[in-house]
Amino acid sequence: MLGWFVALEGRAAAAQEQCVQCHQSVSPKIVSDWRHSVHSEVGTNCVSCHGAAHDSASNPEKAELATPETCRGCHPGRVEEFERGKHALAWDSYKAMPTTHWQPMTLREGLQGCAGCHKIGMKSDQEIRRLREAGSDYGAGSCDSCHTRHLFSKQEALSPHACRTCHMGMDHPQWEMYESSKHGVRHELKTTGALPEDAAAPTCQTCHMDEGDHAVMTGWGFLAVRLPMPEDEQWARDRATVLKGLGVLDPDGNTTNRLEVVKKAKLARLTEEAFQKQRDKMVAICSDCHTEGYARKELARGDDMVRISDRLLAQSIRTVVALYEDGLLHKPDNQAYAYPDLLAFHDAPSSIETRLWLMFLKHRMRMFQGSFHMNPDYALWYGWSEMVRDRNWIEERAEELRRRRKVDRKLGLDQ
């Protein structure tokens, strides 16, 4: 038995040496990254993750792709945590968007569109095979979105820069908010030596991955809507309007099939207990540097910014609904209800509807996310101020359409 094990180990070592010799000339940086990794130090080699079937330049397709299941063999706890968090659902949530399949294939499968970041999500073996057949190996691993190949560095994944690739830009500029917030500034000062090593300087991971917990989740979720409805009657009406715009409620206030999609992708907290669990967790994290009272007060201010953003967005949604009802704006044939679909994104059919989804996806996101990331410029100028301008533009455009109809009727051009 011992002889069999020694022989097996010897074959694995020989296969590994063959891998290194070949890739040293073909892709040397892969080899150097691996040699610098902890994997190399502990004996995790090419064969450990890719198998031994690929043994020459003629059969690269035989190299197995490392997936979360591969990582689970050594890191079961971290993979299980990841599966409970929202990052694991990124692929599902991307596919659930109503018009994703309308986009060009390059945007859907490559690194040029939403899929480039959403591929961090878990995928079935069938989906991984399909991606590979399409020539798009990237995204099979999930873990390698943050612990990039072939270093798989923990230190890299602990840096806020690791989050920057995805959490930036138009719809969720968390990186820009963090970097220019006092938290981000202190982190930069700490890394340059201007602040002492033990100075408080929170990173993204400090607040969202406490003690390395990979089950990343937030209280308000990506959409900043939740259940139960608030006690404030005006806010409850506004949130109901927003939920109708998201397609979660129909015009009569009844839940739709899209609610099941929101549940599955964990895009919102749907019970008070689920929200409070995340809120209490964040208060505890904030309290490492601040008093608990201060933390709760500032988080409550963020909640209030969600309320204010809902007021502005709901007003504009109702303006567009009225245009549908009056026949001044054609409701897209693919929309199930007489409400604009905020999740249609780029496929909004008119300038008014385009302005509405930008109001939702760009400016509302900046308003409430800027508040929770303690960045006043994003909360005010890039958020609230832009939403006010969006609302005014939509209302003025609606009035212009009404004036045109009156003129057309007088001239008999509306027949």
Instruction: Write the CATH number for 284.
Output: 1.20.850.10
Spell 240-266 as b/e; 16+ CB within 10 A means b. bbbbbbbbbbbeeeeebebbebbeebb
* Residue 38 maps to a domain: yes
Q: What percent of the chain has pLDDT over 90?
A: 71
Of all residues in the chain, the percent with pLDDT exceeding 70 is 95
Q: What is the pLDDT of residue 256?
A: 93
Neighbours of 64 (CB within 10 A): 14
What pLDDT, on the 0 to 100 scale, is given for residue 182? 97
Residue-wise pLDDT tens digits, 114-128: 888 998 999 988 888
Whether residue 132 is predicted with pLDDT greater than 90 in this model: the reply is no
**Eight-class DSSP state of 331:** P
- Determine the Cα angle at 19 with ends 16 and 20, to 5°: 90
CA distance 123 to 83: 11
Place 152 in a pLDDT band, splitting at 50, 70 and 90.
very high
Residue 283 has pLDDT above 60, yes or no: yes
pTM given for the model: 0.91
**Domain end: 47, 62, 77, which one?**
62
Alpha helical stretches, state H, 266-384: 272-286, 292-325, 351-358, 365-372, 376-379
Range with lowest mean pLDDT among 79-88, 318-327, 333-342, 366-375: 333-342
Domains identified in the chain, total number: 2
156 is a domain residue: no
pLDDT of residue 6: 42
What are the Cα distances from residue 91, in Å, to 97, 108, 290, 357, 362? 10, 11, 36, 21, 21
Kindly state the tokens that stand for 273.
């207990």
**The pLDDT of residue 3 is above 80:** no
For 372, the token pair is: 């929770």
Asked whether the predicted pLDDT for residue 174 surpasses 60, the reply is yes
- Helix (H, G, I), strand (E, B), or coil: what is residue 183? helix
Inside any domain, residue 40: yes
- Domain holding 38, by residue range, is 1-62
